[in-house]
C-alpha cells in the first residue's frame, strides 16, 4: 500500500484562528474566527461549516454572522456533546479546522424586494442571525421586516444586546416571547407560534423563513398558512447530522436529498411532500 499526498481533497481543513470568544449563556459561546491571510469565508446566510479539532473530530456548525462582515465569521456553539465540550475548552488564539461553507442557505434572492417574516426558536436564532444582519446591512433592498423570536426563558435568550438593538431600530419589527417568564420579565409569555397571528402582513408579498428545533416547524407552518402565506413562500432550515458535508456519507440524507448539499434550507412545498422531513 502506497500513500500519496494530494491537494484539493474535500476533507482538507483551513486553519481558523479564534480571534475572540464571548460567553453568551452557560451553555453557548460565540466564536469569532479568522482564516489564514485574512481570507474571506465567502458564505451565504444560512450555510454551515465543518469545524474540526484533530484528535477529537468534526461537527457541522451553522455560521451566525453575515457575509457582509468579511474580515471574520462567527459560530455560536452550544455545549451538547463530546466535540462541542472540547470546543468550549478552547481559548482565544487557539486554532480550529474549518471546511466549507457548505449547503444552500436562506433564499436571499427571492427575499429581495419582498416583505420578510423571520421566525427563530431557541438556538435557531444563531443561523437566522446571519440573515438578519445581512438584511440590516442591505436594508433598503428588502420590504417590511418582522422578526419573531422564541426562547425557553430570558436566561437562555442569545445575543441579548443585539436583540435590544433590533428592537430599537425603526426599520425592523422585533417581537419575542418566552415559554417561562421570570418575575422581572416584561415581554410576551407563551409559545413562539402565538406571536404569528398578531403580525400585520400582506401574505402574497411576504416570504417567511423559520429556523428552530424540528418540533417547532409543524406549528409554525400551520400558523403561517392560516395567515394566507402561500406554501412556496415558506422556507425552513432542517437539522440533520451533516457529517461529511459533501453529499456522500449518508448521515444527513432525507429521502433522495442530502441535507448538507441540497439544504439545510428547503422550501416548504418540497418539505411537505417528504414524509419524516419535519
Q: Given the rule CB under 8 A, which residues bind another protein? A: 1-13, 15, 52-59, 78, 80-81, 84, 95-97, 214, 239-241, 243-244, 246-257, 261, 275-276
Decide if 226 contacts 203 (C-beta within 8 A): no
Nearest approach in angstroms of CB 253 to another protein is 8
Task: For another protein, give the closer residue by CB, 151 or 208.
Answer: 151
Nearest approach in angstroms of CB 145 to another protein is 30
The alpha-helical segments, DSSP class H, found in 89-183 are: 108-111, 125-137, 160-168
| DSSP character at residue 248 | -
Q: How far apart are CA 117 and CA 128, in angstroms?
A: 11
Task: For another protein, give the closer residue by CB, 9 or 200.
Answer: 9
Task: For another protein, give the closer residue by CB, 8 or 140.
Answer: 8
Of the candidates 201, 264, 253, the residue with the CA atom closest to the CA atom of residue 229: 201
The residue behind cell 474549518 is: 98
Task: For another protein, give the closer residue by CB, 173 or 261.
Answer: 261
Q: In sequence order, which residues have a C-beta less than 8 Å from that of residue 152 and are 6 or more positions away?
A: 122, 178, 179, 180
Task: For another protein, give the closer residue by CB, 181 or 246.
Answer: 246
Nearest approach in angstroms of CB 14 to another protein is 9
Nearest approach in angstroms of CB 173 to another protein is 31
Kind of pairing between the strands at 95-102 and 48-53: antiparallel
Nearest approach in angstroms of CB 53 to another protein is 7
Nearest approach in angstroms of CB 22 to another protein is 20
Task: For another protein, give the closer residue by CB, 79 or 205.
Answer: 79
Q: How far apart are CA 31 and CA 21, in angstroms?
A: 5
The string over 47-84, giving b where at least 16 C-beta atoms fall within 10 Å of a residue's C-beta and e elsewhere, is bbbbbbbeeeebbbbbbbbbbeeeebbbbbbbeeeebb
C-alpha cell at 183: 418575575
Amino acid at each position: 500500500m502506497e500513500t500519496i499526498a494530494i491537494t484539493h481533497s474535500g476533507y482538507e481543513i483551513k486553519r481558523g484562528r479564534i480571534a475572540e470568544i464571548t460567553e453568551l449563556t452557560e451553555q453557548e459561546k460565540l466564536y469569532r474566527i479568522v482564516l489564514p491571510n485574512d481570507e474571506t469565508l465567502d458564505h451565504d446566510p444560512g450555510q454551515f461549516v465543518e469545524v474540526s479539532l484533530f484528535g477529537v473530530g468534526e461537527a457541522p456548525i451553522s455560521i451566525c454572522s453575515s457575509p457582509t462582515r468579511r474580515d471574520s465569521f462567527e459560530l455560536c456553539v452550544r455545549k451538547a456533546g463530546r466535540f462541542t465540550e472540547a470546543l468550549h475548552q478552547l481559548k482565544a488564539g487557539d486554532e480550529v479546522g474549518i471546511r466549507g461553507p457548505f449547503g444552500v442557505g436562506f433564499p436571499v434572492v427571492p427575499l429581495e424586494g419582498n416583505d420578510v417574516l423571520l421566525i427563530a426558536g431557541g438556538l435557531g436564532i444563531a443561523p437566522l442571525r446571519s440573515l438578519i444582519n445581512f438584511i440590516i446591512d442591505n436594508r433598503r433592498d428588502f420590504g417590511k421586516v418582522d422578526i419573531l423570536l422564541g426562547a425557553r426563558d430570558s436566561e437562555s435568550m442569545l445575543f441579548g444586546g443585539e436583540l435590544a438593538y433590533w428592537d430599537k431600530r425603526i426599520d425592523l419589527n422585533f417581537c419575542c416571547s418566552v415559554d417561562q417568564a421570570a418575575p422581572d420579565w416584561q415581554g410576551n409569555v407563551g409559545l413562539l407560534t402565538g406571536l404569528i397571528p398578531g403580525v400585520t402582513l400582506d401574505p402574497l408579498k411576504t416570504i417567511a423563513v423559520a429556523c428552530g428545533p424540528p418540533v417547532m416547524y409543524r406549528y409554525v407552518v400551520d400558523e403561517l398558512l392560516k395567515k394566507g402565506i402561500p406554501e412556496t413562500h415558506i422556507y425552513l432550515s432542517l437539522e440533520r447530522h451533516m457529517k461529511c458535508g459533501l453529499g456522500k456519507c449518508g448521515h444527513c440524507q432525507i429521502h433522495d436529498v442530502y441535507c448538507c448539499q441540497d439544504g439545510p434550507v428547503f422550501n416548504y412545498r418540497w418539505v411537505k411532500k417528504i414524509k419524516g422531513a419535519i
